[in-house]
Structure 1
Amino acid sequence: MVIPLINQYKNQLLEAQTHYSEPMFYNKNGEKLNPRGLHKIFKESLVRAGLPSHRFSLHHLRHTFATLLLQENKDKVDLRTLQELLGHESLATTSMYTHIDFEQKKKAINSFLVKK
């Protein structure tokens, strides 16, 4: 869903703009997209989608991304990779995303009880 859109966007960039040291996203003036501009785009997108913009934030999006990435890819994504993706300096900050869901706790308890 999102990957084709990002690839389409990337294909319309100038070659110099695709260098790893260059920003990934630009504003309508061709300048580096800043946090304020990203916030505005995010809020406008929520309104267009019919969602209440006051209920969601970029922080929610970031947290959801990290949580789902770990939940859906436990065997493929380690904590250090997530740390780098989120730009955290401390691994302790990233470790908050390793919370164990109820079903995992239940399985762990049941596996202990079955052995006795």
Structure 2
Amino acid sequence: MFTFSIAELALKLFGVKTASAVSHRIFCHTTMSFSNLVGPLEEIGFYGHPMAFLAPTSYGQPHALMINFQSYVDKMMIVLSVNEGTIPNPHRLCEDMVESLRLIKDAVVSRGLA
């Protein structure tokens, strides 16, 4: 929200070139980014072939870590894009995320919230 406000203010006060430069600088100086997308609630197909899952991602972002969440039917896909110079063991990060999500699920189930 803060980033949007600064970009909007720069656009109004200084014009498109300055707003573009501010936006570019913000993205180049951000370490991590999250993205979440609500997917379809029912299975979809591609030329008659059912899709097993959707896994969104993007390429070329200047972030050390980008996490994309995508729901599809009753599943949640999590896709990580990692700069190995900043995060030298991305597989360990994935294992830690799986363990953290398992702990969260166990806590929710044990409290009877699901």
TM-score band w.r.t. shorter chain: under 0.3
Which structure is higher in strand share?
2
- The higher relative CO (CA closer than 8 Å, separation ≥ 6) is in 2
Which structure is higher in helix share?
1
